[in-house]
Amino acid sequence: MSTIPPESYEARSATDRAFLLYQRAVPFFLLILVAVTYPLWIDQTAFPAVPIIAELCPVPGLVDILLLATLTAILMTVQIIGPQSPKASAPWIACSIILVLCFCLNQHRFQPWAYQFAVLGFIFGLAPPRNARQMAMWISLSIYFYSALSKLNPSFVNELGSDFLVTFSSIGGMSLSPDQLAAWKWLALGFPLFELLAFVLLLMPRTRKLGVVAACMMHVGLIVVLGPLGLSHSWGVLLWNVFFFTQAILLFGFSEPAQEEETAPAGTAGLRVAQVICGCVILFPTLELVGLGDPWPAWGLYASHVGRTHLFLSRHAVDRLPEPLRAYVDTESSDDLFVPFRLEQWSLETTGAPIYPGQRFSLAAARALVNKTDTASAARLVLESPAGRLQDDREADTFSGDKIAMEADRRFWLNTKPRDAFLQDRDR
């Protein structure tokens, strides 16, 4: 990666200095986000770690600790030597490789912020600053576009969008009755439409300053709605929005210099690889539109249309659960024989991160739970298909817990077995 010599820093344009600050912000926020979700990166006993292939299940937890320690050291090294130092290329690439290894050992770690930072690490390590800035901008724009698109559907209006409306009105001192919400819930489409507006404004250089204002307003609004005053989402979600606020200013808030010097030959192999990675990341979300991709790699953020897996346990089996797990069973909402086990809450409280969306990972978490607690015969699973893009309709498939392994192997290409460390307590 070619760089501008450090002594010329003061001679750079404001745009160059802003991008350097942005490159410094990436390892800073990555360290903080890993810190607030640290159980996700080192602990495989409180919540199941599900590797991408079953052959990785025996990998001991010590490997995760070593990977996290190495990642931390590399990120600190990048800050010390400077993100555009001639010596920073290898650490940037190493950072991304370690993140990919962490993803392989646990699909749950493929949080959207971790995915974005892994992509940025490859780009910063392979491309010169001028090109890296352009690709970082395109990655950011694609996130806004696909995120907005994933929410333009009835399921968002009826579910999370309605929660957003109720929370906004409550913070503003008003309360929406169920009748009022039913009449006004379509206003929830204003959230993705405003996100789409921010994308359009940021896309065009002449309106980019307005786009920065719109994006910053949107992220402040999300922090308010998702924060302690609202829906109380995880710290990872809130801090990623803080990063996006910062990113909007540093990446899009400064005009392109009138004349830019070339920082590296346009045809270098590293640059070509970075461009391929950038292109794949931008195009991959189109696969999710036809049902071939997961929501988070497709930037389906706060999306409600995704497929789901629900775990139900019979009431007599709840008493056999370890005490910490009983807290996630909802025995009060109904008098039914089978009661729901809240997989999402289990994930949030034990790892600090939301559960990986879609049917596969929730089914894997349910599989690990019933295997560890020997409750397969007392479990029932309900798999809901993704909702329609124009109608909020889903197909549901129900089966007993003793068929979970067969159903998982039949339905999914990727692994649904947990790492061995999660199941070891069962044998003690």
Complete DSSP assignment for 86-131:
TTSHHHHHHHHHHHHHHHHH-GGG--HHHHHHHHHHHHHHHS-HHH
Q: Strands 308-314 and 338-341, how do they pair?
A: antiparallel
Whether the predicted pLDDT of 9 surpasses 90: no
pLDDT recorded at residue 274: 97
Name the pLDDT band for 395 (thresholds 50, 70, 90): very high
Sheet bearing 338-341, strands edge to edge: 338-341, 308-314, 379-384, 396-400
pLDDT per position as a tens digit, 311-328: 999 999 998 899 999 999
Tell me if residue 168 falls in helix, strand or coil.
Answer: helix
pLDDT per position as a tens digit, 367-379: 999 999 999 999 9
pLDDT recorded at residue 151: 95
Q: For residue 406, what are the contacts with CB-CB under 8 A and spacing of at least 6?
A: none
Percentage of the chain beyond pLDDT 90 is 78
Name the pLDDT band for 200 (thresholds 50, 70, 90): very high
Least confident window among 101-110, 207-216, 258-267: 258-267
Whether the predicted pLDDT of 211 surpasses 90: yes
Complete DSSP assignment for 374-392:
T-GGGEEEEEEPPPPSSS-
Contact 182, 175 (CB under 8 A): no
Instruction: Name which of 155, 50, 166, 126 is nearest 392 in CA terms.
Output: 155
Q: Six-digit token pair at 339?
A: 């009661």
pLDDT per position as a tens digit, 54-103: 999 999 999 999 999 999 999 999 999 999 999 999 999 999 999 999 99
pLDDT recorded at residue 291: 78
Q: For residue 339, what are the contacts with CB-CB under 8 A and spacing of at least 6?
A: 312, 313, 314, 315, 318, 329, 330, 331, 333
Give the containing element (helix H, strand E) for 251: helix 235-252
Q: Tokens 């030597």 map to which residue?
A: 81
Give the containing element (helix H, strand E) for 311: strand 308-314
Q: Six-digit token pair at 40?
A: 């996700």
Whether the predicted pLDDT of 260 surpasses 70: no
Length of the chain counted residue by residue:
428
For 327, list phi and psi in degrees, rounded to 5. -65, -20
Packing angle between helix 14-36 and helix 112-126, nearest 10 degrees?
140
Name the pLDDT band for 185 (thresholds 50, 70, 90): confident
When computed from its CA atoms, the radius of gyration of the chain, rounded to whole angstroms, is 23
Q: What is the pTM of this model?
A: 0.93
pLDDT recorded at residue 263: 46
pLDDT recorded at residue 258: 54
State the DSSP code for 398.
E
